[in-house]
Structure 1
Amino acid sequence: MVRIIFGLTFVLSSFVFQAQISSKYILSFENAVHHEANIQANFTNLKSETATFRMSRSSPGRYALHEFAKNVYNVKVTDGKGNELIATRPDPYSWEVKGHDGTIQVSYTLFANHGDGTYAQIDETHAHLNAPATFMYVPELEHQEMEVTFKLRDDLDWKVATQLKQQQDQTYYARDLQYLMDSPIEIANFRTRSFDLKGQNIVLVLHDEEASDSELDMYFEKVKKVVLEQMMVFGELPTFDYGEYLFLACYMPNASGDGMEHRNSTSIPSSRSLTQGGMDGNIGTVAHEFFHCWNVERLRPKSLEPFDFSKANMSGDLWFAEGFTSYYDDLSLVRSGIISREEYLKGLAGTFNYVWTSPGRQFFNPIEMSYQAPFVDAARSVDETNRENTFISYYSYGSMLGLALDMFLRAEDLTLDAYMRSIWKQYGKPETPYTVAQLQQSLSDFAGQQFANDFFGNYIHKSGMPDFESLLKNMGIILETKDAIDFGAMVRSQRLVNNPKMGSSAYKAGFQKGDKLLQVGAVMLDGNVSINSVLSTFKTGDKVAVKVERHGSEKELSLIIGTEISYKLHYMEGSAKEFTKKIKEQQADWLNSKV
């Protein structure tokens, strides 16, 4: 009698669990050679008279619109008994059907051939799937459980890697739409390496057909160093769902370089094999994306929660979410010894020059720069923009703000590491989304109200430039400024390939993108001559006639030779009198490993 009751209870509990799964998908790849997947979706528990199913228009970690519906076709719909239903199109990314019986069965073909973190790619090397680019969904069912089954081809030796929970064989589970859409999938003949860290499994999944096992081992050692170094910033790992974090590394020539953070995994495709430069060239993406498992995935802007798949997602917090992450990616590489201090400073100098010489700061502060993401984050447009003069990447801008805040805090015997730990405990670990005002209040609690007001007032809500000369000198780094003759626009094969920089010689003289430079003074130009090298034969302030070809006609412009400021960073000499013991200790505390 006990056995019968137990059996009945098990059957009923299984039935209840299965009844909660209202969206089921089956994917097969018979026509992978032509970049197609066949997808069957079964949607049940429908209550609305008119059932709507759709493709996403955006993807977690991206902020622009991406019309994934353009790559689905051969759409067919039946009810639960197999009776054909007629689908109508209320808009370009949705379908509607009436007369269903609480269930609709949708089949469609997906074309996919862009292997980055946003789209999907299917061929006979892999099925690289970003969920929003792959799965139709029913908005009515978004809070209910979902299941995905992959029918793998025996001839391709494919396996599945994903943060989705494996149910059995090739069937995987997501608790709701948000989780499904945040779960990238790599299906390929990949290799893995893993290590246990405080009871959780950190896994590198590598799809790279050129790399040897020894190269994989060497690369995995770098990955481990990154993981350990970044864990020290926050003092602990996040609690990963199902106790595992996956690096989905697809280093194939048909992939596109990218990195996309997700809750318990990251998609990090690149066209560079470990054998062909990826050993050094790809590790920076690993560092950036893993830091996101704290900053963005759990320490999350309120403006992105919940993520809306029906529209572009705008946030004013990307200077912190993406920018501070960018500050820490290279910092973790130098701390772990993966890059040298000289390499770190060279990269820092490049970003420093890009941000602080840009005219864009006169138009937008860091919050407003973040608002530009829907227009620049892998967005597409056919019309010209003036972003050379109006936009600074929130990755780079935020990275420099992270540097500034770290330097400011260290001058007060505090550190950015400690501030990140404090807001992790306040907002990240309990997964309470934050606002900019709350970040400011947290900084006030951490370093004092006046400190926080000054930093946010001058550099976040305004576009001021900190006194980096003093700040960096305290850390044993010399900041030098230099003026050099500069045209003010990039020239290739004698043509201007971008809009002239506001305030530059080219801008003031009225040059335009597309102009072909023919003659500067008495010098006839050819495609091999650098315009700045020609201009350097003159003196600052000289007026020079420049002949150009514009729209098929010749035109003469009057150019006044001008200069452009640039910044150079270098470490203090070890024997320099100003390189005191205190500064050496401060520099070491900043750049040395914490492991």
Structure 2
Amino acid sequence: MARAQPPAPAGVHYRIAAPDPRNHLFQVTLTVAQPAAAQELVLPVWIPGSYLVREFARHLQGLQARQGRKACAITQIDKHRWRVDCLPGKPLELRYAVLAHDDSVRTAWLDSTRAFFNGTSLCLRVEGQSAQPCSMDIDAPELIADSADWYCATALIPQKVNAHGFGRYGAQDYDHLVDCPVEMGPFWSARFTACGVPHRIVVAGAPASFDGQRLVQDMRRICETTIRFWHGEGPAPFDNYLFLLNVVNEGFGGLEHRNSTALICGRRDLPRLGEAKLTEGYTTLLGLVSHEYFHAWNVKRLRPAAFTQYDYTQENYTQMLWFFEGFTSYYDDLLLRRAELIDHASYLKLLTKAVQQVLQTPGRAVQTVAQASFDAWIRYYRPDAHTPNSTVSYYTKGALVALCLDLSLRREGRTTLDDVLRTLWQRSAGGPMDEALLREVLQDLGGRSFDAELDAWVHSTAELPLAELLQAHGMALQSDTPQPAQRLGLRVTEGSAVLVKTVLRGGLAEQAGMAPGDEWLGIEVQGQGWRITQLDDLALYAGKATQVTALVSRDRRLLRLPLALQRPTGSKHKASAPEQPDTVTLAITDAARAARWLDGH
């Protein structure tokens, strides 16, 4: 795999400054050495890895252009494109500001405690020159009392930077520039080596209880396990890697890049000094690290053919997010097990959660996972109360498709999904691929066509054969007693009252006439009225009753809705989607067979 080379001298240069972080404005100066006569400039409308048109241009303001002392007229062409009336070949300077007040991994943030940005939010693309080398000066923010404690971290190529990381960086082209997020502030930082590759982790906002040494040790094991998964003893496809972790009160997510990732987690998810217990929150954080790191191979290099060249001006459609996000979701927790960070029981608990999430989504009978991938731009990132009834997550169902393929391949004994991914990497040269190549590799390594399986599991709404395949590998998928919300077909928030968020298709709550936004105040049973604040109150007040009256507030109107607490025996009711299943559990029935899969043998 070719290594990144230092960029040639840049004809496009950006300067990023923050003279007053209190106003949350980054000041950007863009210099184009050789502009066209009517130079066009474009700001992206989305960021790769997050499939939603976010309209970053709405945060850009005060755009001005000059050539020497002469101001140049600017014409806005559309919502994110401008044309500058300038002389060709004479250096053109543009100045503008960008509002940065989104504390996520997707855009930009600036205040007196921390600064962060993605190039897609700040950097206008110079039309006709996006394939040329470019450079960026990053200035330390001003008017900050503890600015001497501020540092800068990015995966861009350092050209002339000071000990704190501020100064000039280079990029091979515009894609490279905007694929390297930048973190600034008084952050905690550490370095480690995994399979000979230098890695760095930066953590912003961590409390004094943070056990950084433990996080570094665990991340090293994840990185080494992942590199060896893809390459054995061979080299990784990058010279270095950077983790940027923003720690907040509540939050979770990540965004992948070619040799870095931006992550966000809650403070309670971090490992704590003096505590050896692997908490649920910390396990989730390690799974996030594993997921985004795996993406350095699967989606950033091995990627949909539709992403061969990103079009930043509009949606980039693909039906294969079930593979690139779903298969990554399958391996993120599985590699935690193979890195021996979690045991078999902990992994099966995580897998059970994914299985239940799909089984409790009526939309799996409405939309295929391939269709869900294509519709990510209008569905996944724009969920509403009815989303679970109309679509399915390409993350979770995609992970279960990967599970089914892996278990099918292992049962037949010729190959594994591990080998399939590595062969895809080799045949695509770590680059674009399509579903036809996946089918080809499955047939070559599996000894038969797997078209029927992919057609059923990916391109139809047929149920996945989870129980059968798990049983063949020493595990039983068993029904368990459903929780009240699952039994009723509801998703709610609980507090002073029960607030209905989602009414699942075909459930008892839908039959009663409940709707999203309802405030469920209480029940009437056997002539008595009871106030409820959580669904567990139903068992307390309803006793053995199978029918109650739900007292609901909707738009300040009080409604009395007849609610069955269970389906009548022999009911002929047929829902328009699969009935809400019971909770499921996974149990190991043959430890030796289960271990061969779980441990990657």
CA distance in 1, matches of 2:57, 2:563: 50
- Deviation string for 1:337-379 (max 9, x for gaps)? 2223222212211110110232112221110111121124544
1:268 aligns with 2:256: no
Q: TM-score, normalised by structure 1?
A: 0.87
> Secondary structure in 2 aligned to 1:89?
strand
Q: CA deviation at 1:286?
A: 0.7
Please name the residue that 1:7 is paired with.
Answer: none
Contact residue 233 and residue 418 of structure 1 kept, 8 A: no
Q: Distance in 2 between matches of 1:83 and 1:219?
A: 54
Of residues 49, 54, 67, the one that matches 1:61 is 49
Q: Deviations over 1:46-88 (max 9, x none)?
A: 23x3222232100011110111112121222112x13112222
Do structure 1's residue 182 and structure 2's residue 179 form an aligned pair? Answer: yes
- Map residues 433-582 of structure 1 onto 2, 5 A cutoff: 433-450=432-449, 452-482=450-480, 484=482, 486-491=487-492, 492=494, 493-517=496-520, 518-521=522-525, 522-530=527-535, 532-533=538-539, 537-538=543-544, 542-562=546-566, 564-572=580-588, 579=589
Whichever residue aligns with residue 526 of structure 1, its letter is R
Is residue 2:119 matched to residue 1:119?
no
Q: Are residues 1:363 and 2:366 paired?
A: yes
Equivalent pair of 1:211/1:275 in contact (CA under 8 Å): no
After superposition, what is the alpha-carbon deviation per residue over 1:291-350, rounded to whole angstroms, capped at 9, x for unaligned?
A: 111111111111222111111222211111011111111111122222232222122111
**CA separation of 1:556 and 1:474: change in aligned 2, threshold 3 A:** same
Q: Which residue of 1 aligns with 2:416?
A: 415
> Equivalent residues in 2 for 1:92-491 (5 A)?
92-102=79-89, 103-153=91-141, 155-169=147-161, 170-211=167-208, 215-236=211-232, 239-241=236-238, 243-253=239-249, 256-272=251-267, 274=270, 279-379=282-382, 386-413=386-413, 414-427=415-428, 430-450=429-449, 452-482=450-480, 484=482, 486-491=487-492
Aligned residues of 1:210 and 1:275 also touching (Cα < 8 A) = no
Task: Give the 3 Å change call, closer, same or farther, for CA 329–143 of structure 1 in structure 2.
Answer: same
Q: 1:218 to 1:545 in 2, by over 3 A?
A: closer
Distance 2:564 2:206 in 1: 55
Give RMSD over aligned pairs.
2.7
Secondary structure of the residue aligned to 2:216 is helix
Provide structure 1 residue ranges, at least 5 long, that are not aligned to the other structure.
1-13, 573-578
SS at match of 1:372: helix
Opposite residue 586 of structure 1, the aligned amino acid is R
> Which is further off, 172-181 or 466-475?
466-475
How far apart, CA to CA, are the structure 1 residues paired with 2:159 and 2:19?
24
Displacement of 1:515 in angstroms is: 2.6
Q: Secondary structure at the match of 1:282?
A: helix
Unaligned runs of 5+ in 2: 1-5, 162-166, 273-278, 568-579
C-alpha contact 1:479 1:567 (8 A) present in aligned 2: no
Q: Deviations for 1:210-264, whole angstroms, at most 9, x for unmatched residues?
A: 3578x211110000111122223223466444x11111223355x9532111011
Matched residues in 2 for 1:209 and 1:584: separation?
40
Following superposition, the deviation at residue 535 of structure 1 comes to 8.6
Residues 489/199 of structure 1: CA separation in 2 closer, same or farther (3 Å cut): closer
- TM-score, normalisation: structure 2: 0.86
Q: Distance in 1 between matches of 2:440 and 2:538?
A: 48
* Structure 2: distance between partners of 1:516 and 1:163: 48
Separation in 2, partners of 1:550, 1:29: 48
How far apart in 2 are the matches of 1:33 and 1:110? 13
Offset, 1:209:
4.6
**What CA distance in whole angstroms lies between the structure 2 residues aligned with 1:314 and 1:128?**
28
Could you say what secondary structure the match of 2:581 adopts? strand
Tell me, yes or no, if structure 1 residue 586 matches structure 2 residue 587.
no
Alpha-carbon distance change, 567 to 437 in structure 1, aligned in 2, over 3 angstroms: farther
Cα deviation for residue 127 of structure 1 reads: 1.8
The residue type paired with residue 258 of structure 1 is: G
Contact 1:194/1:203 (8 A) holds in 2: yes
Aligned partner (choices 15, 21, 27) of residue 38 of structure 1: 27
CA distance in 1, matches of 2:291, 2:369: 20
Q: Which amino acid counterpart does residue 389 of structure 1 have in structure 2?
A: N
Structure 1 SS opposite 2:595:
helix
Residues 1:524 and 1:364: Cα distance change in structure 2 (over 3 Å): same
3-state SS in 1 of match to 2:421: helix
**Counterparts of 1:516 and 1:245 in 2: how far apart (Å)?**
48
Count of residue pairs brought into register by the alignment: 556
